[in-house]
Amino acid sequence: DSGVTQTPKHLITATGQRVTLRCSPRSGDLSVYWYQQSLDQGLQFLIQYYNGEERAKGNILERFSAQQFPDLHSELNLSSLELGDSALYFCASSVVGQKRIPEAFFGQGTRLTVV
């Protein structure tokens, strides 16, 4: 168990709909990353938050948005869903500012299926 919790584990929804994926980072981790992984593909970086603020943006569509709340949990909002949005969405958290390598710990992912 990595200590990172993602809910739900599975989500099936129709095109055009909107969903929210939730991530609770490890206790004490300030940084949260979101990644998208399509079938048999690598991990595409979407966005990163650090202590409630957006820090880096990757290949995130305008239909997607995220936020990190004061309790450090994060939500990824996906709207106007298309079939191509079907993928595994991973959240990772890491510690920032310590001498040891800030290793990223990944959750189990949310499998989104758009039908």
Partner 1 sequence: GESVGLHLPTLSVQEGDNSIINCAYSNSASDYFIWYKQESGKGPQFIIDIRSNMDKRQGQRVTVLLNKTVKHLSLQIAATQPGDSAVYFCADLYLKAAGNKLTFGGGTRVLVKP
Smaller CB distance to partner 1: residue 75 or 105?
105
Instruction: Decide if 64 contacts 46 (C-beta within 8 A).
Output: yes
Cross-strand pairs, 10: 111
Q: Which stretch binds partner 1 (CB under 8 A): 13-21, 27-35, 69-77, 78-86?
A: 27-35
- CB of residue 23 to partner 1, shortest distance in Å: 11
CA 102 to chain centroid, in Å, comes to 18
Alpha carbons 30 and 70: distance in angstroms, whole number: 10
Alpha carbons 44 and 3: distance in angstroms, whole number: 22
Under the criterion CB under 8 A, does residue 101 sit at the interface with partner 1? yes
Q: Give the interface with partner 1 as residue ranges (CB under 8 A).
A: 2, 4, 31, 33, 35, 40-45, 48-50, 55-56, 90, 92, 94, 96-97, 101-109
